[in-house]
Structure 1
Amino acid sequence: MAADFISFSLFALSSILIVVNPLGALLVYNSITEFMDSKDKRRVAAYGCRIAGLVLIFFTLLGSTLLSLFGITISAFTIAGGVLLFGIGMEMVYARTSRAKVTATEKYESIDADDISSMPLAFPMISGPGTITTVIVLSKDAPILSQPIELGIILGSVILTLIITYLVLVSSEQITKRVGQREYRVVNRLMGIMLMAIAVQFIINGISQAFPMLTGTGIT
């Protein structure tokens, strides 16, 4: 039992952390805060992570309920989410910022925006479609009342990921000096491969739930 919780904890944390991709968020953060002083940069980072946290906690707790209201099965959502994450992983492997996270237009418009912490930093860069999909899929088997431990693990993983992301953002100057484009591309590609593996696992799980006879789970 303890081993299962440890395994789930590692899977949840790695899934959310890889999808958020703090290094990728750092590049966008640097570009949209280029002309700000240190105090304003820290404010943007803190507020952006706070908004992203509220969004992800909301979908962790109520995402499955929203799917039920629209008549969407969790298996269909899991498969669709796996496809989406696979596409994001492919973009990371090719060292490009995924359009599922932030488009060129959103990045350009944010330069003159009054509040860039909510758009595009919090959404869609940190708590974008890929991250929202991930927390909903992870929480599908952890309803609030029957599986509070698993739900707590997911929420803890979200909070820890946002803390790491915040620390990366506020340390942007130091990280930029030490990590060049070549190193960034290597790390991004490795994380992309891991994300693609997680996406494939999501797809396999969704197919197993939708078509149990294919995997033998429906045979008694």
Structure 2
Amino acid sequence: MAPDLISFSLFALSSILIVVNPLGALLVYNSITEFMDSKDKRKVAAYGCRIAGAVLIFFTLFGSSLLSLFGITISAFTVAGGVLLFGIGMEMVYARTSRAKVTATEKYESIDAEDISSMPLAFPMISGPGTITTVIVLSQDTPIFSEPVELGIILGSVIVTILITYIVLISSEQITKRIGQREYRVVNRLMGIMLMAIAVQFIINGISQAFPMLTGSAT
């Protein structure tokens, strides 16, 4: 059981971390806080990460229940989520900010917005559709009471990802000085390829759940 939990922990953490993409969030964060002082920048980063964390924790705990409420099957959502993540991965491979995370309009409007920490930083940049989809798919087979260990792993992965993102944001000046556009594109493309692989796995899992006879798992 221990090896399975370790594998699940690594898969959960890597999936959430890659989708959030702290370096991608950093670029948007730098652009929308360009004219702020260091103190205000830290406030934006802290508040944005708190909101994003709360959103992801909520959907980790209750996302599957919401799907059931609207009559959406987990298998259908898993396939749809895989397609969405594949598209985000493609954008990352081409070193572009995915429109599923933040559009050019949202980025432009944030310049004059009073609370940029909630939008576009917290949503949709950090806790966007792709990240929400990821935590719901990961938690689909981990009910709150029957699978507390796996659920705890997902929640822990969310918290660790948010902490890493916060550290990256408040260290924006140091990171920007050391990582240029060339290095960012290399890292972004590698993470994009990994995200596409995760997306394909989601699609395979969803199809296997919807059509178990294709994998020979029907009883």
The answer, yes or no, to whether TM exceeds 0.5 is yes
Alpha-carbon distance, 1:124 to partner = 0.0
Query: What CA distance in whole angstroms lies between the structure 2 residues aligned with 1:79 and 1:215?
Result: 16
Q: 2:203 corresponds to which residue?
A: 203
Query: What CA distance in whole angstroms lies between the structure 2 residues aligned with 1:204 and 1:43?
Result: 41
Query: What CA distance in whole angstroms lies between the structure 1 residues aligned with 2:39 and 2:143?
Result: 40
Alpha-carbon distance, 1:85 to partner = 0.1
Alpha-carbon distance, 1:60 to partner = 0.2
Alpha-carbon distance, 1:188 to partner = 0.1
Query: What CA distance in whole angstroms lies between the structure 2 residues aligned with 1:9 and 1:184?
Result: 26
Report the 3-state secondary structure (helix = DSSP H, G, I; strand = E; otherwise coil) of the residue aligned with 2:51: helix
Alpha-carbon distance, 1:161 to partner = 0.1
Query: What CA distance in whole angstroms lies between the structure 1 residues aligned with 2:146 and 2:207?
Result: 24
Q: 1:43 corresponds to which residue?
A: 43
Report the identity percentage: 91
C-alpha deviations, 1:58-104, integer Å up to 9, x for none? 00000000000000000000000000000000000000000000000
Q: 1:169 corresponds to which residue?
A: 169
Alpha-carbon distance, 1:162 to partner = 0.3
Regions of 4+ moved over 2 Å = none
For structure 1, the residue ranges without an aligned partner over 5 or more in a row are none
Report the 3-state secondary structure (helix = DSSP H, G, I; strand = E; otherwise coil) of the residue aligned with 1:208: helix
C-alpha deviations, 1:86-123, integer Å up to 9, x for none? 00000000000000000000000000000000000000
TM-score (norm 2): 0.99
C-alpha deviations, 1:140-170, integer Å up to 9, x for none? 0100010000000000000000000000000
Q: Which aligned pairs between 1:17-32 and structure 2 lie closer than 5 A?
A: 17-32=17-32
For structure 2, the residue ranges without an aligned partner over 5 or more in a row are none
Q: 1:9 corresponds to which residue?
A: 9
Alpha-carbon distance, 1:136 to partner = 0.1
Alpha-carbon distance, 1:35 to partner = 0.2
Report the 3-state secondary structure (helix = DSSP H, G, I; strand = E; otherwise coil) of the residue aligned with 1:98: coil
Query: What CA distance in whole angstroms lies between the structure 2 residues aligned with 1:14 and 1:51?
Result: 21
Query: What CA distance in whole angstroms lies between the structure 2 residues aligned with 1:125 and 1:143?
Result: 27
Report the 3-state secondary structure (helix = DSSP H, G, I; strand = E; otherwise coil) of the residue aligned with 2:111: helix
TM-score (norm 1): 0.99
Alpha-carbon distance, 1:54 to partner = 0.5
Query: What CA distance in whole angstroms lies between the structure 2 residues aligned with 1:193 and 1:18?
Result: 10
Tell me the number of residue pairs that the alignment of Structure 1 and Structure 2 aligns. 218
Report the 3-state secondary structure (helix = DSSP H, G, I; strand = E; otherwise coil) of the residue aligned with 1:99: coil
Alpha-carbon RMSD: 0.4
